[in-house]
Amino acid sequence: MRGLLFLIILLGFPVLEIYVLVKLSGFIGWWLLLLLLSGVALGGRLVQEAGATVPQRLFAALQSGHSLSLALLFSFRTVLAGLLLIFPGVISDFLALILLLLPPPKTPAPPAAANDENVIEGDWERVDDRDRLR
């Protein structure tokens, strides 16, 4: 039953996209082509930018002690929005816009390394064995 539902959705989405494109082209005309081409250009730029910033986001999350999976999820969301923009259609562009407008995931506070009560301050000096013998 799940396979049949997945197949209906998989085949129904392009049919729905074509139906909306035909109806919308009758309403706004050739401007729809400009809208679709700008969506493809923006989607390609998003995918390219997201791919370039993944290592930076992962490194920043690693340095701050945040979860790496949240950084990957945010990058995946941007890539998915870019791919939806590349796919020709108004419904997929609308879904990509919703993905891009979602607020970024809240990152939990990094675990505290040590409380101020547990910190012992002091100075240290390295002494070699040769210096100790003199």
Q: What is the pLDDT along the chain (134 residues), one digit of tens a residue?
A: 888 888 888 889 889 999 999 999 888 888 889 999 999 999 999 999 988 888 888 888 888 877 788 888 888 899 999 999 999 889 999 999 999 998 876 666 655 554 566 777 778 777 776 666 55
- Separation in Å, CA 88 to CA 29, 46, 104: 16, 15, 26
- Does residue 51 lie within any of the structural domains? yes
Of 93, 95, 99, the closest CA to residue 76 belongs to 99
- pTM, two decimals, is 0.70
- Total number of domains in the chain: 1
Distance CA(5)–CA(8), nearest Å, equals 5
CA dihedral (20, 23, 27, 30) in degrees, to 10, reads 70
Q: Is residue 47 included in any domain, yes or no? A: yes
Kindly state whether residue 37 falls inside one of the protein's structural domains. Answer: yes
61 found inside a domain: yes
For residue 44, is it within any domain? yes
Amino acid at position 102, single letter? L
Are 22 and 14 in contact by the 8 Å Cβ rule? The answer is no
Q: Which range marks the domain in which residue 45 is found?
A: 32-105
> Quick check: is 79 in a domain?
yes
Distance from C-alpha of 8 to C-alpha of 74, rounded to nearest angstrom:
29
DSSP label at residue 26 = H
Q: Give domain status of residue 3, yes or no.
A: no
Decide if 46 is inside a domain: yes
Rounded to an integer, what is the distance from CA 10 to the centroid of its chain? 24
